[in-house]
Structure 1
Amino acid sequence: MIVRTLKECIQSERRVVSENWESVRMLLKDDNMGFSFHITTIYQDTETHIHYKNHLESVYCVSGSGEIEVVGGETFPIEPGTLYILDQHDEHYLRAYPGQNMVMACVFNPPLNGQEVHDASGVYPLS
């Protein structure tokens, strides 16, 4: 059994910070579960280009609000209780509205190693 708290993970190398977001990677590839689990905070009033060519992701909004715009497609509002699933390696823009950060619970398959950040095309490398 693996037991971790968000508090202890925040105070470790499992917390990865970028200009637009921070991600606390609570479950990673070396845990051998076949997926990774993260609590990610999208900073208010930001836009992030993301294109997970190597990963599938499910994202549940815990708090805050914003939107996801699929490149060449629709824009969907995000608010607490919204789940979106990037099941087609969907290239998108993730925006957090002003006033409050968005806190998201995220699951990745295949799992991340832990220190990945988006490259210039919005991609996480395959680990």
Structure 2
Amino acid sequence: MSSRLDAYLAAMNESFDAAEARIDQAQALATTTEQMRVEGESTDRMVTVIVDGTGQMVDVRFDDQFARLDAGQLAHGVLEAHAQAKRRLSFEVEQAAREIYGPDVAAAAAITGSYRSTFGYEEYSR
């Protein structure tokens, strides 16, 4: 084969390997987010909501003192905790994307930007 053809094939293989690596990274992030469970609390700490990697509520817990709340306060607590859990989810997804893609990859920025624009963002200590 000619050196020009060899160079072309080498470049194609390199591009294929890079694309395959991106697919592997995307699958790793998808698997990671599928397994995520993130908590949020109401300000009064009477309600804790847990969301999955898509922001869907998968569990809600009430403090033993929740019975003293009226229906409106309880509803507000659930919504407040759910909103916080989703903001924290954006943080968790960003951390996972940085670990999987590295800090400067456009794909990670696009994914985390989508979560931020949908749910907001809140850093927190795990």
**TM-score under structure 2 normalisation?**
0.25
Greater percentage in helix = 2
Report which of the two structures shows the higher radius of gyration computed on alpha carbons.
2
Greater percentage in strand = 1
Larger RCO (CA under 8 A, 6+ residues apart): 1
